[in-house]
Chain A
């Protein structure tokens, strides 16, 4: 298996285009094989929110994630970085079983949320996804009004019965997403009419409206300009007081700014997990170092 071979079919094209490997291929290959089934750093924490053990994910015959074991602590922001096609998004989508929507996808291993196996066959994904919300790469508000976008979650989960309560949830969620002042006068206008950054904050507001415990963010800023990105990053910092946040990002600066811990993925394997500061100043793994210094990726 060469370093160029795609592990995640979604990213195949992108990976193929990444021909800019600066490190010598042989060296990397060696490093990758060497570190098989072994993650360096602190994978485990006490009283984890999520505890993942030996997770393997397959798309048909192709394996996208190899033996990942990782704990995610309560109210911590964990960033997942790595080159395209390294399986970080796939891993993230396992945490609220969004991979179920892909027919050929298969997940093995144990993933527990507060000690409950989320891949238990008896488990209902609807309440799971209410506890573990998700924000996607491309802002995807519903083609409905701003109000309806935020009210959708509370409505389908039956969280409120009275209109006033719903109004309150919508206002609180929009305030926490830092969007209230911008949209309070046009709640009935379509959410799709907002700017990209506002749309993404609307998606965050929509997610927190159902008061989840964990928010998964899949490259939430990759479609946004730097100012909107800064706004979202501030928001993440504020939200981290109440929510556990897992963020996948391509921007190492972003990971360094927002997260407490950072996980480095490489070709479907989790290479290193450490305090963010340590990862970016003195990483334990040579591949991590190669990646953060820009020698490939």
Chain B
């Protein structure tokens, strides 16, 4: 029998081994390609759908600020502007607080004579009368006048109503703000760009598509729009409303700022509560606690809590914070506390891992120098473990950023139009806003939903970027 040499045997199997090796590497490459493709698909889908929300259409109209139509006394407004110039922008807020009127009247004594002469009342009364007039003024009426002048042929009630509905309800608030800021507008006629209704907006945006989206628009409304378009009286502008206002049931007036602020306050509370508590727990467990049955029990529980579905934490928050302690519902403070419960296990686990990874030689060196336990931890262990702990905290926060379920239970899933200004104002958060808009029937909310997702993703990328930056910045070699 011919004995085959080892070299030959090796040669024979070599090809097969190389093929296996190549296949093995291909599996990895394929997985990465699939992942990247999915990501690309996700981003193109979201961006192509959502980019429209950054533009909003406006209609140009000749607005006649007729004092009689509006029911305004122009002199009173001019007087107010003069007072404001002297007194500053606090005027509005102070007028609403009765207690301040005495001091205000004193400060405004030089206007007292003028108020008595021109209006026959005290300066405070004059200013308050002006406030009342502004609140009662019929700005919708002058918009309608302008629309009727633009399309004189429209006579029937129904057609007129169709015409009126093409301009957003929000346009009248815009006019009021303009008059409030500048009294000289009263009595003049201005060519202004007014916020268009979402049906018009969606239709005009879809004009370049193979089949424009008509939706709820009626035939005559499409004609009005075409007439405007012909005369270049419709213009797309950057949608500042989307970034500066809270939620609204009218898509053209709905903005993300309320949700962004709600998210900010909620995460702030979460960070303030969960990071110190998590780090303190991790330090105690790693550096002080002796290993026994009890600490084992705690460890098992922490690991278990990290895997508990987040809705359970919501129920816990409802039972404890709202029902037992009677805290306010729908506020970021409670939301942050619930998310703290959810984030704590993650932070404790990652902080413990970071502390364990500090080389024991550093601890020995410090202890050998006569440093106390606490000095060893504060001077040496914590600075070295900090990058890892921060990374864990930010990953935990990023998870909290995307949570909806626990907030459902404490009333943060709600329609809230006001932009929250503290952690004790009713608020909602970004993922909840996305969910609410995705659920709305108006077509214009589709692009806003995608735009809100883009904002959420931007938040996430920012937080992860911060995690990487902090890690690089604080990382020290030993």
Q: A142-B380, A143-B476 are in contact. Are A136 and B364 (CB under 8 A)?
A: yes
B368 touches A156 (CB 8 A): no
B478 touches A192 (CB 8 A): yes
User: Which residues on B sit within 8 Å (CB–CB) of A157?
Assistant: 370
Query: Does B363 sit within 8 A of A, measured CB to CB?
Result: yes
A101 touches B367 (CB 8 A): yes
User: Which residues on A sit within 8 Å (CB–CB) of B231?
Assistant: none
Residues of chain A in range 116-171 having any CB-CB distance to chain B below 8 Å = 125-130, 133-134, 136, 138, 140-143, 152-153, 156-157
Q: A140-B362, A140-B364, A142-B362 are in contact. Are A129 and B370 (CB under 8 A)?
A: yes
B366 touches A142 (CB 8 A): yes
Query: Does B357 sit within 8 A of A, measured CB to CB?
Result: no
User: Which residues on B sit within 8 Å (CB–CB) of A133?
Assistant: 368-369
Q: A103-B290, A192-B477 are in contact. Are A156 and B365 (CB under 8 A)?
A: no
Query: Does A206 sit within 8 A of B, measured CB to CB?
Result: yes
Closest to A153 in B: B369
A192 to B477, CA, bound (A): 8
Instruction: Count A-B contacts at CB 8 Å.
Output: 68
Query: Does B372 sit within 8 A of A, measured CB to CB?
Result: yes
Query: Does B361 sit within 8 A of A, measured CB to CB?
Result: yes
Closest to A135 in B: B368
Which of B369, B476, B477 lies in contact with A152, CB distance below 8 A?
B369
Which of B362, B369, B372, B375 lies in contact with A143, CB distance below 8 A?
B362
Query: Does A207 sit within 8 A of B, measured CB to CB?
Result: yes
A262 to B379, CA, bound (A): 37
Query: Does B371 sit within 8 A of A, measured CB to CB?
Result: yes
Closest to A157 in B: B370
Query: Does B259 sit within 8 A of A, measured CB to CB?
Result: no
Interface size classification for chain A? 20 to 34
Query: Does A271 sit within 8 A of B, measured CB to CB?
Result: no
Closest to B361 in A: A140
Among A103, A129, A130, A190, the most chain B Cβ lie within 10 Å of the Cβ of: A129
Query: Does B384 sit within 8 A of A, measured CB to CB?
Result: yes
A110 to B366, CA, bound (A): 26
Residues of chain B in range 35-66 having any CB-CB distance to chain A below 8 Å = none
Query: Does B291 sit within 8 A of A, measured CB to CB?
Result: yes
Interface size classification for chain B? 20 to 34
B477 touches A143 (CB 8 A): yes
User: Which residues on B sit within 8 Å (CB–CB) of A134?
Assistant: 368
Q: How far is the CB of B472 from chain A (nearest CB, A)?
A: 15
Query: Does A267 sit within 8 A of B, measured CB to CB?
Result: no
A98 to B375, CA, bound (A): 16
User: Which residues on B sit within 8 Å (CB–CB) of A140?
Assistant: 359, 361-362, 364-365
Query: Does A96 sit within 8 A of B, measured CB to CB?
Result: yes
User: Which residues on A sit within 8 Å (CB–CB) of B478?
Assistant: 143, 192
Which of A101, A136, A153 lies in contact with B370, CB distance below 8 A?
A153
User: How would residues 179 to 202 of chain A score, 1 for a CB under 8 Å from any chain B CB and 0 otherwise?
Assistant: 000000000001010000000000
A207 to B371, CA, bound (A): 12
Among A127, A129, A140, the most chain B Cβ lie within 10 Å of the Cβ of: A140
Among B290, B291, B363, B364, the most chain A Cβ lie within 10 Å of the Cβ of: B364
Closest to B363 in A: A101
User: Which residues on A sit within 8 Å (CB–CB) of B361?
Assistant: 136, 138, 140
Query: Does A86 sit within 8 A of B, measured CB to CB?
Result: no
User: How would residues 127 to 169 of chain B score, 1 for a CB under 8 Å from any chain A CB and 0 otherwise?
Assistant: 0000000000000000000000000000000000000000000
Closest to B380 in A: A142
Query: Does A64 sit within 8 A of B, measured CB to CB?
Result: no
A210 touches B362 (CB 8 A): no
B375 touches A156 (CB 8 A): yes
Residues of chain B in range 366-422 having any CB-CB distance to chain A below 8 Å = 366-372, 375, 379-380, 384
A156 touches B369 (CB 8 A): yes
User: How would residues 57 to 81 of chain B score, 1 for a CB under 8 Å from any chain A CB and 0 otherwise?
Assistant: 0000000000000000000000000
B365 touches A98 (CB 8 A): no
User: How would residues 338 to 367 of chain B score, 1 for a CB under 8 Å from any chain A CB and 0 otherwise?
Assistant: 000000000000000000000101111111
User: Which residues on A sit within 8 Å (CB–CB) of B372?
Assistant: 126, 156
Among B362, B363, B371, the most chain A Cβ lie within 10 Å of the Cβ of: B371
Among B359, B365, B478, the most chain A Cβ lie within 10 Å of the Cβ of: B365
Query: Does A221 sit within 8 A of B, measured CB to CB?
Result: no
User: Which residues on B sit within 8 Å (CB–CB) of A138?
Assistant: 361
A101 to B372, CA, bound (A): 12
A130 touches B370 (CB 8 A): yes
User: Which residues on B sit within 8 Å (CB–CB) of A57?
Assistant: none
Q: How far is the CB of B383 from chain A (nearest CB, A)?
A: 8
B365 touches A142 (CB 8 A): yes
A96 touches B375 (CB 8 A): no
A141 to B359, CA, bound (A): 12
User: Which residues on B sit within 8 Å (CB–CB) of A210?
Assistant: 369-370
Query: Does A80 sit within 8 A of B, measured CB to CB?
Result: no
Q: A101-B364, A143-B362, A143-B384 are in contact. Are A206 and B291 (CB under 8 A)?
A: no
User: Which residues on A sit within 8 Å (CB–CB) of B291?
Assistant: 103
A140 to B478, CA, bound (A): 9
User: Which residues on A sit within 8 Å (CB–CB) of B476?
Assistant: 143, 190
User: Which residues on B sit within 8 Å (CB–CB) of A130?
Assistant: 369-370
User: Which residues on A sit within 8 Å (CB–CB) of B363?
Assistant: 101
Residues of chain A in range 197-215 having any CB-CB distance to chain B below 8 Å = 203, 206-207, 210
Q: How far is the CB of B474 from chain A (nearest CB, A)?
A: 11
Q: How far is the CB of B432 from chain A (nearest CB, A)?
A: 44
B384 touches A156 (CB 8 A): no
A96 touches B371 (CB 8 A): no
Closest to A209 in B: B369
Q: How far is the CB of B335 from chain A (nearest CB, A)?
A: 39
A206 touches B364 (CB 8 A): no
A103 to B371, CA, bound (A): 18
User: How would residues 434 to 478 of chain B score, 1 for a CB under 8 Å from any chain A CB and 0 otherwise?
Assistant: 000000000000000000000000000000000000000000111
A54 to B415, CA, bound (A): 78
Q: How far is the CB of B127 from chain A (nearest CB, A)?
A: 63
Q: How far is the CB of A200 from chain B (nearest CB, A)?
A: 12
B370 touches A98 (CB 8 A): no
What are 19 A-B pairs at a CB distance below 8 A? A96-B368, A101-B364, A103-B290, A125-B370, A133-B369, A136-B364, A136-B368, A140-B364, A141-B365, A142-B365, A152-B371, A156-B369, A156-B370, A157-B370, A192-B478, A206-B369, A207-B368, A210-B369, A210-B370
Q: Which residues of B contact A (CB under 8 A)?
A: 290-291, 359, 361-372, 375, 379-380, 384, 476-478
Q: Which residues of A contact B (CB under 8 A)?
A: 96, 98, 101, 103, 125-130, 133-134, 136, 138, 140-143, 152-153, 156-157, 190, 192, 203, 206-207, 210
Known A-B contacts: A103-B291, A129-B368, A156-B379. Give 15 more (CB < 8 A).
A96-B368, A101-B363, A125-B370, A126-B371, A129-B369, A133-B368, A136-B361, A141-B365, A142-B362, A143-B362, A152-B366, A153-B370, A156-B372, A190-B476, A192-B478
Closest 8 CB pairs of A and B: A129-B370, A140-B361, A134-B368, A130-B370, A140-B365, A143-B478, A143-B476, A153-B369
